[in-house]
Structure 1
Amino acid sequence: MSAEQALATVGLTVGDVLAGTGDALADGRAYLVGSLASGLGNAGSDVDIHLLVSGLDQQVPAALHFVRDVAVDVEEYPAAWVDRILAAAAEHTAVLGQAPCEVALGRSIDRYTFRWVARWVHAAPLLDGTPPVFTDAQVAWLLPLAVREAMDQMLLAQAAAELADEVPDGQLPEGARTYLWQRALRLLLEVRCRAAGDVTTGDKWLPARAARLGFDLGGAPCRDGYRHAVRQTLGIAVPDVRLAVAVRPAADSRRAKLAGREVLVNRHDRLLGDPLACEGLLGTVLREFPAERVLEGVRRGELDLVVDADGFEGVLR
């Protein structure tokens, strides 16, 4: 979709935006990004513009403009970030599987960097003659990394749901298992959308993305329903999270002494007594600690579930 076509959704033209933002777009390459550029916006959407500026060292916070009462956000980014992203992607060129589920091996692209990848894959040049941020060949190269980032999140959701299934009845809030399996199913759908080339960010857009790609949002929110959906949707065996997911002390947590007693201060600055000390693959940890204690540790912010790179490659090969 061109920028002109996308802006028509909110009743604007490229000329309107250029006139209404003054000289804000003078220095750099301007791109329409976000929901409008992805073809998902509506008449009430804001207009998001990213300006790639040569020689800029860091991101410049958004400047808000109003064009015919439509909010237009202009953010400046170092043009060098594009090459930096591609250079980082070059470190992870090994790809496993085939369409519809090509996935990068090794360390996946980090979630912070992926925010810019997602916006710039669908970015629409504001002016004729401006090249795309990424060429079609570069997008095809980046997609397995985007799939991997989503698959990591899917496996973590699957791990939490499987832990919940092992917790004795009555020890979890009503509906907790259903919620966790539903979350895993939504992340499975995210993987499928990215594999098809749609990397739009924002959970609220997932139903619309799936619908326009012809993907079913259904699936029973339980272990069997999830396993069936993975096989049907991705054409792969359901990964064994006990071998692919690890348990680690929570990031941004720290141990402290309080009145002679050891406590843990979690990332929310809450004091937790009797913190659980464990680290290793989920299957190994579960041989020593019950599932309910591990899940409680994750919920309390004393433990993190993380995808183990070697384990991930092992279960998918």
Structure 2
Amino acid sequence: MAKQEKEIDLIVVGAGPAGLAAAIYGGRAKLDMIVLEEKIIGGQVRNSYTIENYPGFEKISGSELADIFQKQVESLGVTIDEFDLIENVELYEDKKIVETESYIYKPKSVIIATGASPKKIPVLNESKYQGKGVHYCAVCDGAIYEGKKIGVVGGGNSALEEAIFLTKFAEKVFIIRRHDYFNGEKSLIDEVLNHPKIEVLFNEDLVDLKGENFLDEVVIKNKNTGKLSNLKLDAVFGYIGTEPKTNGFDKYLKVNDYGYIITNEDMETNIDGVYAVGDVREKKYRQITTAVSDGTIALLNAEKYIVQKER
């Protein structure tokens, strides 16, 4: 049976903060639009245990903030189509097609807000222990390890925040850091360095994972001396950066050497009417506030583009 075709003003691909901010402005502009989300509404924000740097909230959980975003979008009459996977994309100056499992959309404009996913821990047998001791979401999986010893790999804000969160469950948390410094906010660094349950292993690289069926030990290598050491751990959580989720859009759009979509300050890509926002685009700072800003800018420009197309 042939899929139904739908001609609409705008498709926003991705329902993280950037995509939802665009949807709020799009709803207020009364655009005929839809938001497509292949997973859970809220993006990586929903996995944040505590957010303390979003204006208007002294402290709020990621899931609560995502729920507020979603409620606001839906109150404006914008449809969020969750779990309808994109099967094909065509992006040209004069034609844009986004085909999902259910429909073939022909939008005038597209805003790509697909975000980024965690980089895998670069150890050969990482896949053997995925879900069996190797994880990338402390909020999702941390509670499994009540009273256990947990490792966190990384040195940015995400690694620091999740290490602190994991102390709610763990007997002890080891931060495995390949350098002798952190890249995070000073308040987080101070909290980590002074936390009684956290031990920081500076200048150490995770080089191997061990265990019969589940992880029970890791091997670390000192960068200065080359010495190998075994460390008994029940789990390792990786926070070593992200990789953009371009979902085939990179076939049409210019990307940098790391795969992030290149835009100008108006969020415009190399194809008229196509915009990229949030963590999927090339940018210096990746915060909830900057993602929301991206989504706002993209929608305001997309609205102008759509109006011009209708003339």
TM-score for both structures, normalised by structure 1: 0.25
More helix by share: 1
TM-score for both structures, normalised by structure 2: 0.25
More strand by share: 2
- Structure with max Cα Rg: 1
